[in-house]
Amino acid sequence: MNETVIEGTWEEIRAQEARLAGHRVRVTILDSDSRAAAASEERFAALTAKWRADTAHLSSASAIAMHPAYQEIIGMGAAALPFILRELERQPDHWFWALHAITREDPVRAVHRGKVAEMAKSWVEWGRDRGLIG
């Protein structure tokens, strides 16, 4: 069964009445915490997209991590950890400085330095052990 998730305020959803006409819908009322989490995730996704687009051609780990969008993600602090870890599991990428900066930890074995897939695996396991991701 194909489902499409549309999220927004009730007023925003009502504005799509013509599109939704005739379809069966399920309405879930989000509490303020869920709304805040959804907003954070949207912000993280937007920052990630900007960061990736602007730094894809770079080799310098420093330049990659100093991008303003990446720094904003670090600024989100611990709230960003589930998003980063889920993204890392989905698509291993250069999240390691952010994870280190936010957590002050480093679960990566020295022999894996620079091996992106292994480093990502170590961090994902770290996050799963702490209940940050499922």
Confirm or reject binding of residue 93 to other proteins (CB under 8 A): yes
- Number of residues near other proteins (by CB under 8 A): 25
Q: What is the crossing angle of helices 116-129 and 96-103, to 10°?
A: 30
Judged by CB under 8 A, the stretch of 11-19, 22-30, 40-48, 86-94 that binds other proteins is 86-94
Residue 83 half-sphere exposure toward CB, CA atoms < 13 A: 22
Confirm or reject binding of residue 96 to other proteins (CB under 8 A): yes
Confirm or reject binding of residue 49 to other proteins (CB under 8 A): no
**Is the Cα torsion angle 82, 88, 94, 99 positive or negative in sign?**
positive
Residue selected from 37, 115, 121, 133 as contacting other proteins according to rule CB under 8 A: 115
CA–CA separation, 46 and 116 (whole Å): 23
| Minimum CB–partner distance for residue 132 and other proteins (Å) | 20
CB 54 within 8 A of CB 42: no
Judged by CB under 8 A, the stretch of 9-17, 24-32, 79-87, 96-104 that binds other proteins is 96-104
CA–CA separation, 42 and 126 (whole Å): 24
**Applying CB under 8 A, which residues contact other proteins?**
53-62, 65, 91-94, 96-97, 100, 108, 113-117, 119
